Each structure stands twice: as structure tokens, then as C-alpha cells.
Amino acid sequence: MGSDVLIKNGMVMDGSGEPARKADVIIDGDRIKDIGSFPDAAASRVIDATGLVVAPGFIDAHTHLDFFFASPRHADVLESWAHQGVTTIVAGNCGYSPAPINHDHVDTVSAYWNFAFPRDGLEFEWTTMAEFLDHLEKIGQAFNVGILTGHGMLRTNVMGFEARFAEPDEIAEMKRMLRESIEAGSIGLSLGLYYVPGIYAHTDEIMEVASVLSDFGAPLVPHTRGMSETYAEAVREVVQIAEELQIPLHLSHHGSFIRDDPSIMERAERTIDEARKRGVEIGHDFIPYSTGSTTLLSLFPPEMFDGGLDKFFARLEDPLVRKRIIHGWETVVPGWPNWEHSWWTDNHYHNAFSSWSLICLSGFRKDGNKRFENMSVEQIAAKLEKDPFDTVFDLVLEEKGTIIVTGGAFDNPMDDDSVAAAASDPNASICSDIVGGDHGTINPVAYGAFPRVLGRIARDGGHMTIEEAVRKMTSLPAAQMGLKDRGSLRAGAFADITVFNPDTVIDRASFANPHQMSEGIEYVLINGKVILENGTYHADALAGHVIRRA
Ligand SMILES: [Zn+2]
């Protein structure tokens, strides 16, 4: 006796990608004690894993649950992550983190980044990253959480939404807040150079702020300055920063929206390959679907936000401004650098989303608008008997900007091959990039991302071994994000463990039917505690740790 849990007779995939081997895993407290062969009597609880794979718990390396872990409701709402085998979730991506926060800008942040907030709002009971992480610990966490510090938040705290380069004293203040945040345990710096206010930052500002990371070896995690026509230049910008500062680089949702010009991705990949040969550490994450969601506000011309959201809403009332926006959407091709092209980094109306019939809206608050939930702009415009552009402008004003946009190829099997090819890149870790987790989004990522890769892409599609798929969900993201003692099964590591049936594991959620739990994940343990067994999720276990960068 003595140990707490013994997982017997499973096929152990340790997260390294090496072939599975039959072994038992024995757990003491929150750590793995040993892997080998042990009698039933060695532990107070025995789990029979005959015919099942025993893997490290999966790590969702990129989410927009950024502000949601501070809600006491998070454990209930995030059940679908447990049914995917996820044990650790990274948030604070794309430039936005819940801390540090200047309380003067809470309203702006809550409106612009609304999809990452709890539906019922949030009391900011903290200012610094240290206070925020303490708060998460105090309310208890269902999953292990790692929090990046967002450059967009640092910039908002210092200078709001001003469309200009930062002054040296403003950059110094951003650096001070970043250092304090990393020292408190934040795991790295995220950039949102496509979002306001990161879109207004010069490369020199990013280089200077990110230089703080050099003292910690912490990763730079960018949503690049453009993911369409200028993607190759945008990748080169962050590669140069990482190389000069000698810090690890982790590209968020790596890829370009421009499908008909393969030279863009070829140039980006060449930049990455050559930098790797020079010793730059570069990884990335990947969403296993061909659709994306974000705030509808991010489609608007960047200069519209100069001076803050109140000014944006006032401008949007003006019919002449509306005409200029439409003209921009119909004609702008982003150029490099974006500050010489009215700040535009992407024209997603034109490329990624391309048609009002492929742009769906969700997250409505006003009772009168809830009937439009998850409809396309084209459908909503038809119901309102209005022009689609005015439909969008009026809804943005009515909802004060808090609308989620989802666009791309919904449930289009033609896209499966390109998704599988991108997922097969050995440096791609898997992520959900969930947007609107508490807002009833139709995007199935919240339910299916990880079982989709295991079942459809690896097992059924044969694009990689199950062992390799597991590596991309465990040891790879743990290394990319610097998560110590996570993502591998070995003596001494944290006992985050996912036990799944390799023959049946599969995602069931689609855009047509999004709220369906995945199947085949049999047991999930977080820090040695069972949080999922026989289909039952223990929301009250609160077994997660707030991960602090050592
Ligand atoms: Zn992003």
C-alpha cells in the first residue's frame, strides 16, 4: 500500500513520440512515482487500462479563455475540454491578458476582447499579474493554467488605444510591467499585432519590450503583423526579434489566409528554416479546422479606433465614414510595413471571410438580436431587409462592439487534406484557439480539436502515428511554452494523465451540430486526481495548478 493510484495494463505513450509499450503507471500525490509493473496492492485505487492508451494529459497551447479562468463558473463551462483529454490550458494569447490591468481601461478591454470574458462580466479584483495569479489560486482551478502577458494590455495600460508609436518613457513602463509579470510567474509575452492596440506598435517597440524575455528564456508568442498578403514579412519581423534577443519564438496559429498564392507560405517557411539552421528556436501551434473566430471589430480599418472605442462608435454613426469603410474593405491590399499603409495588416473582409454568406455572427446581448445568433450576415440582412454593410454597422453600434465573427469553410470536407498537412508539421502543436467559450459559439473547436487529430487525422487519415499525435499535444507544447514537468510520462513528472481508447476516440461536434462531446476519452487525471471517469466529469475537483514560470 502507500501509493494513491495505479493505472494498470495500458499501452503507455510517454509523449516523446516513441512507440507505445505495455506498462503500469503508479502515482503518489500529484506526481508520477514510477512506470513499470506493480501489484494491485501497491495503491489504494486501481484503474484497469487494458486495451487503452495511457498518455500525458493534453496541453491546449493557445486559447482565448484569457479572462474566463477568473470566473467561478469556469469549471462547469469547460467540461468539453475534459472530454478532449486536456489537462493544461494556456491563455493570454494574441496580445490580451487579464493582468496587469490599468482600471481606467477596463471598459475598453471588456468591449474589444469581449469573447474572452465570462458572459456575466468580471470584477477586476487585481491589478498586477501576481495578484491575478493569486486570485486564480484562491477561487480554485479546474485545469492547470499558464498565463502569457499580452503586449496589447501593456500598451493599453500605458497609452490606451492611441494610433501612434510609443515614446521611450512609455516603452520603459511596458518593460517594467512585463518584468514584474514574468517574475510573478507569467509564462511569456504574447503579441497581437493584428489587433488594436498592438497594430500601432513599431518593430523597435516590440524589440525593446521583448528584450525583457532574454533574462528569463521565456517565449515570445506572436499573432503576427498580418496573416495574409504580408505574412512572410510579418514572420521575418518576429524571427529577427527572437534571433537578436536569443529567445524562443512560438508562432500562434501559423499560416496564411491567402490560398491562391503559395509563394507567401514558401517564403515564410524558408525564413523559419534558415533561422532554425542558425540556431533560433521556433515552434508554432495549429487549429485543426479551416475556420476561425475573432472579434468583429478586428475587421474594421485600424485608424477607426484611434483615441478609443467611444470615438470608434461616434465615427461609425457617420454615413461618410461608413462609405469609407466599405471602400476600404472592397479595395485595400495590405502592404509592408503596415504603418505606411494606414495601419492595415489584413483585409479579412476581402480574403479569409470573402462573402457575407460565410461570415457568421454570435455573442448577441440585446434581446431583440438574440434571434440572429449564429446566422450569417447575409441571412440577418435578409431578415432585416437591409443592406449587409449597414446590418453590420448597426449591429456593432447596438451591441457596443461585443460581437463574435466566425468565418471560413464550414464543415467542408475539401479542406480536410490541407488541415491534415498543416497538422503533420513536426513543429506544430495542437490548439483550440477557442473564442467565445462562454458565448455559445458554433465553432466546434471547444469540443473536438484534440480527438479530431487523434481519430480523424492520425488513425483514420493515416497522416501520422497516434504516438506522434500525442507528442504534438504533450511534450511539444510543454517545451514550447516552458512548462516544467508537464507533457511527459516519467517518474517525477506531474500526474496529468489522459487514458483513451485508440479504436474509438473521435470528435462529434460540427458547425451544424456544435455542442457534442467527444468520445473515447475514458479517464483524465490532473495532478493525480481523477476528474473524468466513465463519461462523468467532476467539476468540483478543482485539481488544477496555476503554473508559474520557475
Ligand atoms: Zn490570434
Q: What is the pLDDT of residues 121-145, one digit of tens each?
A: 899 999 999 999 999 999 999 999 9
116 and 225 belong to one structural domain: yes
Tell me if 95 is assigned to some domain: yes
**What type of residue is 171?**
I
Query: In terms of domains, do 391 and 444 share one?
Result: no
Å from CA of 231 to ligand 1 middle: 13
Q: What length does the chain have? A: 550
- Predicted local confidence at residue 156, as pLDDT: 98
For residue 354, the model assigns a pLDDT of: 64
**233 and 344: one domain?**
no
CA 192 to centroid of ligand 1, rounded, Å: 7
Query: Which phi and psi (to 5°) does residue 123 adopt?
Result: -90, 125
First to last CA, the chain: 33
Q: Is the pLDDT of residue 51 over 60?
A: yes
The model carries a pTM of 0.97
Q: Which of 360, 382, 408 is the last residue of a domain?
A: 408
Mean pLDDT of 288-314: 94
Gap from CA of 63 to ligand 1 centroid (Å)? 9
Parent domain of 529:
56-290+410-537
Distance from residue 261's CA to the centre of ligand 1 (Å) = 22
CA of 453 to the centre of ligand 1 (A): 20
Q: Which three cell numbers stand for residue 223?
A: 499573432
Taking CA atoms, 27 is separated from 54, 79, 219, 407, 494, in Å, by 13, 24, 31, 44, 9
Q: What's the 206 CA to ligand 1 centre distance in angstroms?
A: 17
- pLDDT in the model for residue 439: 85
DSSP 495-548: --EEEE-TTT-B----SSS-----B-EEEEEETTEEEEETTEE-GGG--B-B--
Q: pLDDT at residue 360 above 60?
A: yes
Query: Using CA atoms in the order 258, 324, 312, 201, what is the torsion angle rounded to 10 degrees?
Result: 50
Question: Ligand 1 center to residue 456 CA distance, Å?
Answer: 25
What separation in Å is there between the alpha carbon of 446 and the centre of ligand 1?
Answer: 16
Asked if residue 5 belongs to a domain, the reply is no
Q: What is the dihedral of CA 144, 483, 52, 418, to 10 degrees?
A: 100
Tell how far the Cα of 384 is from the centroid of ligand 1, in angstroms: 32
pLDDT at 215 over 70: yes
| DSSP-derived 3-state class of residue 10 | strand
Higher-confidence residue of 409 and 330: namely: 330
State the distance from the centre of ligand 1 to the C-alpha of 46, rounded, in angstroms: 42
Are 194 and 339 contained in the same domain?
no
Cα–Cα distance for residue pair 523/335, rounded to 1 Å: 49
Distance 346 CA to ligand 1 centre (A): 13
Boundary residue ending a domain (385, 408, 431): 408
Euclidean distance between CA atoms 295 and 285, whole angstroms:
20
pLDDT given for residue 422 in this prediction: 84
| pLDDT confidence of residue 258 | 85
- Measured in Å, residue 502 CA sits from the centre of ligand 1 at 31
For 309-321, what is the mean pLDDT? 97
What pLDDT was estimated at residue 257?
Answer: 84
What is the pLDDT at residue 353? 64
Q: How far is the CA of 433 from the centre of ligand 1 (A)?
A: 8
DSSP3 helix / strand / coil % (the chain, rounded to 5): 40, 20, 40
Distance 75 CA to ligand 1 centre (A): 24
CA of 235 to the centre of ligand 1 (A): 14
List beta partners, residue 3.
43
Q: Is residue 550 packed enough to be buried (19+ CB in 10 Å), middle (13-18) or exposed (0-12)?
A: exposed
Angle in degrees, CA 463, 465, 471, rounded to 5:
110
What's the pLDDT band for 349 if we cut at 50, 70, 90?
confident
Does residue 358 fall inside a structural domain? yes
Cα(73) to centroid(ligand 1), Å:
24
Confidence band of 461 (pLDDT split at 50, 70, 90):
very high
Please tell me the distance between residue 308's alpha carbon and the centre of ligand 1 in angstroms. 21
Which has more confidence, 526 or 437?
526
Q: How many angstroms does the Cα of residue 168 sit away from the middle of ligand 1? A: 27
Q: Give the mean model confidence (pLDDT) for residues 62-73.
A: 95
How many angstroms does the Cα of residue 142 sit away from the middle of ligand 1?
24
Alpha carbon of 223 to ligand 1 centroid (Å): 5
Percent of the chain with pLDDT over 70: 98
513-526 pLDDT, tens digit each: 889 999 999 999 99
Is 44 among the domain residues? no
Same domain, 181 and 206: yes
Whose CA is closest to 90, among 65, 124, 117, 118?
A: 65
Phi-psi region of 135 (alpha: psi -120 to 50; beta: other; left: phi over 0): alpha
**Residues 509, 414: one domain?**
yes
Band (290; pLDDT cuts 50, 70, 90): confident
Asked if the structure places residue 137 within a domain, the reply is: yes
Residue 409: which pLDDT band, with cuts at 50, 70 and 90?
Answer: low
**In what side-by-side order are the strands of the sheet with 249-251?**
149-150, 189-192, 220-223, 249-251, 282-286, 428-430
Cα-to-centroid distance, 51 and ligand 1 (Å): 38
Mean pLDDT of 289-302: 91
> Is 88 part of a structural domain of the chain?
yes
Considering the chain, what is the average pLDDT of its residues? 95
Would you state the pLDDT for residue 285?
A: 96
The per-residue pLDDT for 352 is 60
Same domain, 149 and 281: yes
Residues with Cβ within 8 Å of residue 496, at least 6 apart in sequence: 56, 57, 87, 88, 144, 486, 487, 525, 526, 527
* Residue 436, pLDDT score: 86
